[in-house]
Amino acid sequence: MPLAELWRGGLPESAHLGHLVIADAGGIREHWGNPGAIIFPRSSCKMIQALPLLESGAAAAAGLQPRHLALACASHEGAALHVGAVSRWLQDLGLGEADLRCGAHEPRDKAERNRLIRAAEPPCQLHNNCSGKHAGFLTVNRHLGAGPDYGEYDHPLQQAIRQTTAEVAGEELAGWGVDGCSAPNFAFSLQGLARAMARFAVAREGQAGARGDAMARLVQAMIAHPDLVAGEGRACTGLMRAAEGRAAIKVGAEGVFVAILPEQGLGIALKCVDGNARAAEVALSAVLVRLGVIAAGHPLAQKWQDPVQRSWRGIEAGVLRADPALHRPLNQGAGKA
């Protein structure tokens, strides 16, 4: 089903298809496209991958604070803010950059990127957008006393994540693949991902055991630190700020987005079929506005609300428009799972 279209000169130029599910604790509330589509959640499931960090007691033993938990769920920009925080976290564990297994890439943050170029310094693993997740992995791993290659599929940590993922998705996993950061990423249905996000949304501390506590603390940490979850100019950070505490929002590679709405007890998951983030962003924005999570035209969220496309001289050239259907309630109930 269409998620978004790019228009230029009054004509449609490009179009993005996708699937979207809004779930509550009971199952699917609304859907668009195929709720049973098997997807790789990629980084959108970092909150699930962080559950063993809390449930194992590792986070408490290491004295982790909300900022650490936000970083464990982050796909950050590699700004000085993020790199410094992950570096200190590793130091507190008695570990260092070389213990990471995420690989290095140039940071998206321009100030840090330019600093590296001016200093003729190559990017390191701390700059990897997943370095916070991997710092979380290392924290559990030290607690478990397991081997250093914590990213291998057979490693006890990844097996714990596999088990946890199947539990919160409420279904059999369809398989797994290697993510950009070299850790396993488990494939399951989009409705399973939305259902998992709904479980995060209804979790409250002290009400549903260790898992409920862990879920609630991760959501609170993300909402408290939108700047750590992504960075300046990024959709996760901007939309969370515009939501003013009403949503935790997380992107995944290849056009995945999820949102956790604690006030409404809803989880949202969407996948742009062609893997494009721009369509996923505007589609999610449209749904968040419709659900009253973000005010239409909120200055912090305008960048993702049917954004105008401009030429390099700033001339208005077109618009990237969420499918009009996303502004109204979608197919309801039919796909109840």
Which chain residues interact with a copy of itself by CB under 8 A? 6, 8-11, 13-17, 38-40, 101-105, 114, 117-118, 128, 174-182, 185, 187, 254-255, 273-276, 279, 311-318
CB closer to a copy of itself out of 2 and 262: 2
Strands 2-8 vs 184-189: parallel, antiparallel or unpaired: unpaired
Q: Are 17 and 323 in contact (CB under 8 A)?
A: no
Q: What is the SS3 assignment for 3?
A: strand
Going by C-alpha positions, the residue among 212, 207, 185 that lies closest to residue 75 is: 185
Taking the complex as a whole, how short is the minimal distance between the CB of residue 212 and a copy of itself, in angstroms? Answer: 31
Q: Which residues contact 68 (CB under 8 A, 6 or more apart)?
A: 59, 85, 89, 132, 135, 136, 221
- Provide, rounded to whole angstroms, the least separation between the CB of residue 15 and a copy of itself: 6
Q: Which residues are 23's β-sheet partners?
A: 28, 267
Torsion over CA of 73, 78, 81 and 86, rounded to 10 degrees?
60
Closer CB to a copy of itself, residue 104 or residue 325?
A: 104
Of 64, 65, 79, 75, which is closest to residue 142 (Cα–Cα)? 64
- Displacement of CA 134 from its chain's centroid (Å): 15
Closest to a copy of itself by CB, 17 or 208:
17
Between 177 and 297, whose beta carbon lies closer to a copy of itself? 177
Least distance from C-beta 177 to a copy of itself, angstroms?
A: 3
Rounded to a whole number of angstroms, the minimum distance from the CB of residue 270 to a copy of itself is 13
Q: Shortest distance, CB of residue 248 to a copy of itself, whole angstroms? A: 24
**Using N-to-C axis directions, what is the helix angle for 131-144 and 156-169, rounded to 10°?**
110
Minimum CB–partner distance for residue 226 and a copy of itself (Å): 25
Between 58 and 256, name the residue whose CB sits nearer to a copy of itself. 256
- 7/67 with CB nearer a copy of itself: 7
